[in-house]
Amino acid sequence: MALAPAITDLEQLKTHPAVARLLAWNASVVAGVKFDREEMTIYVDRANLREACALLRDDPACAFNFLSDVTCVDWYPAEPRFEVVYHLLSIPKKERVRLKVRLDSASPAVESLTSLWPGANYFEREVFDLFGIRFNGHPYLRRLLMPEDWEGHPLRKDYPVEGYR
């Protein structure tokens, strides 16, 4: 039952290959880091997300070549409200890293990763559908699961679980 406390100090974590690579490229990209329960999380600046992912994918020391998952967490009513969460897997290194982008409720938009991984297509459409996050540069950003004429985004926290909206 003993959980090690989460490490959020950038100094202690800058030897992690993914963090080191991003810092070497542009120190302002890394907005924060967290190592908790054996999992690495890097908070990435929204403007540089696509370039950061391209770096992590193509750098041989990182080789995060597989996009496992894209999802979102709504921290309503806090601001910045949304966290878009990317899980990358390195098939050669058998390692995972989690990238996060914080978005405020005024402009919940981030660049699409479909140009790097075409597989991001459905994941991003799902996030758009259920959270209302816009992905700039997505080839076909339409609802995926809900009906086309649905109003609202069901997984937002201000959307009720049951009853009328």
Partner 1 sequence: MAHLAPTPVLEPGQDRTMILNMGPQHPSTHGVLRVLLEIDGETIVRIMPDIGFLHTGIEKTCEAKFYQQVVPLTDRIDYLCPMTNNLCYVLAVEKLLGLQIPPKAQWMRVLMNELTRINSHLVWLGTHAMDIGALTVFLYCFREREEVLNLFEMISGQRMMTSYFRIGGLALEPPLGFFERVGKFAGYFPEKVDEYENLLTGNPIFMMRTKGVARLTAEDAIALGASGPTLRGSGVDIDLRRDMPYSGYENFKFKVPVAQEGDVFARYMCRVRELRESIEIVKQALDGMPEGAIKADAPGIVLPDREKMKTQMEALIYHFKIITEGFAVPAGEVYQAVESPRGEMGYYIVSDGTPKPYRVHMRAACLANLQTLPKMCEGGLIADVVAAIGSIDIVLGEIDR
Question: Closest approach of Cβ 118 to partner 1, in Å?
Answer: 5
Question: Closest approach of Cβ 109 to partner 1, in Å?
Answer: 20
Give the contacts of 102 (CB within 8 A, at least 6 positions apart).
Answer: 31, 43, 46, 80, 82, 83
Rounded to whole angstroms, the Cα distance separating 19 from 27 reads 10
Smaller CB distance to partner 1: residue 1 or 106?
1
Smaller CB distance to partner 1: residue 11 or 149?
149
Smaller CB distance to partner 1: residue 24 or 157?
157
With 0-12 CB in 10 A as exposed, 13-18 as middle and 19+ as buried, what is 133?
A: buried
Question: Closest approach of Cβ 89 to partner 1, in Å?
Answer: 8
Beta bridge partner(s), residue 41: 34, 98
Smaller CB distance to partner 1: residue 2 or 106?
2
Q: Give the pair of three-digit tokens for residue 77.
A: 């009513």
Question: Closest approach of Cβ 113 to partner 1, in Å?
Answer: 11
Contact 56, 88 (CB under 8 A): yes
Rounded to whole angstroms, the Cα distance separating 44 from 102 reads 8
Question: Closest approach of Cβ 128 to partner 1, in Å?
Answer: 12
> b/e string for 89-100 if b means 16 or more Cβ within 10 A?
bbeeeebbbbbb
Residues interacting with partner 1, by CB under 8 A? 1-3, 6, 36-37, 39, 41, 65-69, 71, 73-74, 85, 87, 89, 91, 94, 96, 98, 117-123, 126, 130, 142-148, 154-155, 159, 161
Smaller CB distance to partner 1: residue 12 or 26?
12
